[in-house]
Structure formats: structure tokens, C-alpha cells
Structure 1
């Protein structure tokens, strides 16, 4: 890791709060509120969820929606609950309108519950490994903040559903049932068993439900899966493949490849970030040093890719660390990779206390993201005489997400290739990073 000699955390000293103030603006909370309220006016309960904000075209600046079954559906309600957590536990971090506390809380909780309600039936799904992403961001917080037992029940049901995708021979949970691009057509589940690096961040669901219910099966499945990912997806230089295809009958590795990155041998930055966060979470649950070593190794590789002085704001990750950069262009980035990695790095800092460079890295990633990726539009709360909270639409330049410059999928063979946009999970991990800093008492 190539960081300057003087740590940013030391250099800033008491100015850390000021430098990272962009994590806690009224604008961030107001944008989430505006999108949530305006979409509910058209469809309540919602069956379509925000996914990405295009930078060009007729819908530039407006969220593109995906059906509720899409894997990202949990992140937007998760963002609402992140705001609710700030309001309840850290009121100084959420600039709220001059309204009564009860009014603001009641209206925010109503938005949270409206967007979370369609997630509960998802807990029964056995056709996706993304059930952790779908349930955890909103329903775990609903349980922990409000004591909603239905939310906890759905989390436990979701863990049971996820466990059905486990294969003892492979020692892993099947991530995808198929992989179809302009190059690949892997659809036979009897001959193929696809696992992706993203899966590491769905294990938290199994660990949480397993310890909550004393279900050792959930814990053992999650632990076995993490070992399988470590041996099959992490390369010798501690970079990562995106996808591995096992033979489900023997457990042998058939292929190691990409789906959303530049090439099979490149390092897709968001995949590396999923690995950092996922292995760190797994260590927190298991205390197995193997997983801590993996998280540190992946972090070292990730951070080594962020120090190119020829690239402005180098701590906003490139979408793929090995993708060519056309001469004279600003390279394509992925803010979601930076925000996901920063969440993992902050947990590593907490684990290692002061004996790590990870807080410094988190601050650098966050500062470059704030400087480079915030749109010019600023959203603000308003309160009617009756106490109703609203967020007016901007007259011009409206941008629905908090951040810009994310890239969902820029693989040349992708059926749907899209990049340089706002992205719902970039925003979720942006808000969650702020909440982690608050929980640790660092801001």
C-alpha cells in the first residue's frame, strides 16, 4: 500500500469531522426521502425499486427502476433505514427540518416500512443467493431499531432458504443458476456450479441468523463457503476472479472467469471490494485468522491500485484495475467499489485498533469520493404548516442518487452494458460508512 508518509488521520487531527462532513449532509438524506415519497405516490406498495441513475439520455438524472425480484431491491429501503438509525441514535448527524421530532420520525418510519414490506415474501426464495442483500440492509435494521419481530422472522426464514443452495461436495452455496452473455451460455445446473466473489457478503445473513437461533448448520455452511471462495477465487497475488465454475459432482474447478469485469484475468474492482468486506465480516463471526489474513491481503492489493498520480482523484477506484484507459480520457470509475471497500477497511481498523493504516485509507477514499462524485444539485427538506415533510424537485440539474460515477457492468460481452451512473448500492454503502463511523465514535 502506497500512502503518503504522514497519515491523513494525523494530518487532519480535529478537522476529520469537517473533511468528512459530506457524509452527513441534509442533501444525502433529503434525496433518499424525495425518491421514496415520489415513487410511493405512483405505486404503493412498490413493486419496482431504484437501481441506477443514467448520466445521459431522456431519463438522465432520474432513477431507472427494476422489478422487486431484482437482486438490488434491498438497498434502497436499506438507505431509508440508515437515515432512520441516524435520526434515532445520532441526531446531530442528520440535519432535519424544523419540525416536531415525532412528526419527522413517524413519516420516516412510514417510508421505511412501506419500502420494506414487499421484501418479506422474498425470504422464501430459494432461486437466488442474493437473499442477504435483499433482506439484511432493511429488515435487520427494522428488527434492531424498532423490535419488529416480523423482520427477524423473515431474516431467519431467508437464511433457511439460502442454505438450500449449499452443495456438500463443492462445499459452497450456488450463487447463480446460469451465466449467459454474448460469450457464455452456462445453463445446465447438473454440470455447472457457479460461485461469485459477491457471495461473501451474503454470508452475514447466515451467521446472524445462525447465532440468533443457535443453528450451527447455518454457521457451518457459511464458514465452508468462505473457505471455498478463498481457495478458488483468490489468486496467488491476492487479486480475485469474479466467477468460478465448479463441477457439482466432484467439486473440481472447471473455469475461473469474469462476468462484469474487463477480462477473465483482470481484477474487477467491485469484486475485490466484496471480498474485502465479506472476509472481514466472516472473521468477525468466526475469529478464524485465515479469514483475517485474507481480508488484509485483499485490502493490500486493492489499495495498491489506488495510488496512480496520473489519475485525478485516484482513490475513486477504476471500474476494473486492468482495463485499458483510452489516452486523453478520464477513466471509468466505480464509486460502489470504493464505498464497499471502505466499509470493509473500517471494520479492519476496528479489529486491529490503532495498529493499521486502514482508517487513513478510508479517509482518503471518502475524501476523493466527496470531492469527485457529488452532483451539483442540493436537495432540502421543507415542512408544511400541518407538519408534513417533503423534498421539492429541483428546477434543473436534478440527480436522484447521492453519488455519481458508479459502473454496474462494463464487460464487453454483457447483455446489458452500463457505466458512469448513479447506483443504489453505492449510495447505501456511502450511508452505511457514515453510520459505521458514528457507531465507532470516530465522528
Structure 2
């Protein structure tokens, strides 16, 4: 049985939200999140003259903030939008608008595939709560910028430009940026963005995945022939291992593609990825994965709360597209993950953890960068998972 305390928290989220602005809910985890982010907002506001105003992580116990061109810059405003969605408190909407609009110039940036992350998490979420034609225009313009990275012969969006190791690297993370392209088509009616997203998803499904539905991290494409040159990792344990966050990106991305297209092949792919995660013999009993599914099952091996939060959010959505025991299985695994993340083992004490919510995430273990630290995207997908759970409960 699920922890009684956690069930009460999840059920209370419904009654804890109303149309009127509120300061506190009847859901303790959300109230703790508000307290943490209140403190975080106060500190970040003191940096308003700085170009680095988006909180990302901590280093040596101190907050690390980044500028708008960092790939994680959209997650902080996105978390503010989800706090607004969970509480109805207008202060979170006001803060979300403020930090969302700081990202305005990103819409013209063609130098990184992560503009999809940045702008869909911020402006995309804003449009769930606001009728803002100017924001619509930002999404469409960002779609144009992201489309400039499409390589027609290979049928994929190129991820990175910085490495001489690869000609046209495509990382599994890039599945997450497709949502912005679908959004751009829904606003503009221009199917160009939709077609690029579908092409990228199809090539990823064809080339990135192994027989067991685990994913490679990086594929290198020949932009003339369209052939795959090599299959590698950048942040995983080995080229042939299953980097934990990468598996979560894929699960989330193909679930989203099914939502946007209705094509059953994407639903089947998402179901198979979910099965790989659920049945993995190296998945710990608390359902928070090691940073790589092939990493040693040891108390000294870092866990990745960010991978868990992404997977939980995806599983909640996936459960809405399946029936009976399938849906129950996805929700049950998501509930187990969220129960663990909401516990003191992963959820920070008030005032600790740089005022982020979740502890114990991993950025890149091979590079020893951001290992066993809070990460803003872990918080974002945790709050999104809470919000999606709320919507399921309401229905």
C-alpha cells in the first residue's frame, strides 16, 4: 500500500487549490515548496542587475545562477508557473511572468537545440494561463529558430555544434524540444514545424533504441547520406549503457508525441520504454534510479532524482492514454517515485539545499559535474508531476 501520508497529500491537492489566490494549501509538500521558492525568489531578486538571474544548482553549498543562454534557464520560470497552477496564488503568476519575459531574446537564437526546453517551459506554460498574442508570436519565432537546426538528409535536428568528435550529434534529450514545434504549428497553422518534429521522432525511434528499448545517448549522423556514423554516450557510463536521465527523456518525449499526433506507434514506444524502466533489475526499491541503469548497485553510486521526477511526470501523462491495469501500473510507479521524492530522503529541509526542493540529482557523472546536488529541472518536473497528479485526481 502507498504511504498513507502521501495519499493524503495527493488527495488534498484538489481541495487545496481554488480560483481565489491563496497563500497556503492543505498539501504540505506544496506549502514547503512555496516556502523554499519564496526564499529563492528573494535571493535571486537581489541579483536583478546581474546577467545571471536564473537559479540552476549549488556548488560547495552556495547557489549557482546562470544567464538566459544556459540550457536550463527556462526551468525556474516554469516552476513558478506550476506553483501558480498548484496554489492559485497570484504572486506566483506575477513572478512567473517576470522571469519568463527575461527570456524574450531566446526566440531568435539558432545556436542551440535547447531553445525548445527554454521557451516551452516558460512561454509555453504561460499560455496555459494567459491569452497573450505576443507570447504566441514568441513560440512561433522560436519554432523558426529551432527549425534552422533541422538537417533534411538525416531527418533530424542537430543538437550540438561545439564538438569536433561528431559531425551532426543528436542526443536523446532532443525529444523534449519537439513539443515547442508542435505548439508552433497549433498557433500558426504552419505544418512545417509539425513535420520536422515527426521526422525527428521517427528517426530517433528507428536509430536511438536497442532491442530492450533502452536508448543510446548520442548518435552522430552524416548530413549528406543521412546514415548513422556512430553511437556513443556523453553523460552515461558507457556507449552501450542506459543513462538514467536519457531513458526518462525518451519516455517523456514519445508520450508527448502521442499526445500531439495520436499516432499509436509513439504510444507503443512510450509503453515499451516504461516497461524497461519498471522492470529494470538495477532499479532500487525506492524507484529512484542510479545515475545510469548499468552503474553498480551500491550505496556509493549516486542516485538521480531528476531522472526520477521526469519519469514520474511522463508516467502520469502516459496513464491517461492507457486503460485499466496499464494505466494503474503507470500511476502506481509514478506514485512510488513521488512518495520517495517527497520523503526526507530526497526533499530538502526548509532553508536548506540552496532553497531548491529536491536533493540528490546528477548532471554529468563522467565529467564529475553537478553530482549529488539539486538541479532546477529536477524541481520543475517534480512540480509538473504534482500538477499532473492533481489533474488526474480531479477527473
Indicate whether the TM-score tops 0.5. Answer: yes
Whether the aligned pair in 2 keeps the contact of 1:44 and 1:114 (CA below 8 Å) is: no
- Indicate how the Cα distance of structure 1 residues 332 and 12 shifts in structure 2: closer, same or farther if over 3 A, else same: closer
Whether the aligned pair in 1 keeps the contact of 2:58 and 2:353 (CA below 8 Å) is: no
Question: Distance in 2 between the 1:345 and 1:337 partners?
Answer: 12
Q: Deviations over 1:296-344 (max 9, x none)?
A: 1111101122675xx5x53011100112245xx3431101101111111
Per the normalisation by structure 1, the TM-score is 0.80
Question: Residue in 1 aligned with 2:83?
Answer: 83
Question: Residue in 2 aligned with 1:293?
Answer: 268
Question: Distance in 2 between the 1:249 and 1:136 partners?
Answer: 31
Per the normalisation by structure 2, the TM-score is 0.90
- Indicate how the Cα distance of structure 1 residues 317 and 366 shifts in structure 2: closer, same or farther if over 3 A, else same: same
1:408 and 2:383 correspond: no
Question: Residue in 2 aligned with 1:333?
Answer: 303
1:225 aligned counterpart, secondary structure = helix
2:160 aligned counterpart, secondary structure = coil
Among 359, 375, 388, the residue aligned to 1:436: 388
Question: Residue in 1 aligned with 2:21?
Answer: none
Among 373, 379, 384, the residue aligned to 1:427: 379
Q: Which has the larger radius of gyration?
A: 1
Q: Which structure 1 segments of 5+ residues have no match?
A: 1-7, 89-103, 180-184, 379-393
Q: Which one is further off, 266-275 or 285-294?
A: 285-294
Question: Distance in 1 between the 2:179 and 2:30 partners?
Answer: 29
Q: Deviations over 1:381-417 (max 9, x none)?
A: xxxxxxxxxxxxx4xx464210000001001xx3x63
- Indicate how the Cα distance of structure 1 residues 207 and 19 shifts in structure 2: closer, same or farther if over 3 A, else same: closer
Question: Residue in 1 aligned with 2:235?
Answer: 260
Question: Residue in 2 aligned with 1:226?
Answer: 201
Question: Residue in 2 aligned with 1:374?
Answer: 347
- Indicate how the Cα distance of structure 1 residues 126 and 434 shifts in structure 2: closer, same or farther if over 3 A, else same: same
Whether the aligned pair in 1 keeps the contact of 2:361 and 2:371 (CA below 8 Å) is: yes
Question: Residue in 2 aligned with 1:17?
Answer: 8
Question: Residue in 2 aligned with 1:37?
Answer: 42
Map 1:195-206 to 2 at 5 A: 195-206=170-181
Question: Distance in 2 between the 1:78 and 1:405 partners?
Answer: 21
Map 1:289-368 to 2 at 5 A: 289-305=264-280, 311=284, 313-325=285-297, 329-356=299-326, 357-368=329-340
Question: Distance in 1 between the 2:338 and 2:325 partners?
Answer: 20
Question: Residue in 2 aligned with 1:169?
Answer: 153
Shift of 1:78: 0.5
1:407 aligned counterpart, secondary structure = strand
- Indicate how the Cα distance of structure 1 residues 116 and 13 shifts in structure 2: closer, same or farther if over 3 A, else same: same
Q: Which one is further off, 35-44 or 258-267?
A: 35-44
Among 163, 186, 201, the residue aligned to 2:165: 186
Question: Distance in 2 between the 1:374 and 1:13 partners?
Answer: 17
Whether the aligned pair in 2 keeps the contact of 1:247 and 1:254 (CA below 8 Å) is: yes
Shift of 1:279: 0.4
Q: Over aligned residues, Cα RMSD in angstroms?
A: 2.2
Equivalenced residue count is 378
Question: Distance in 2 between the 1:45 and 1:115 partners?
Answer: 13
Shift of 1:243: 0.5
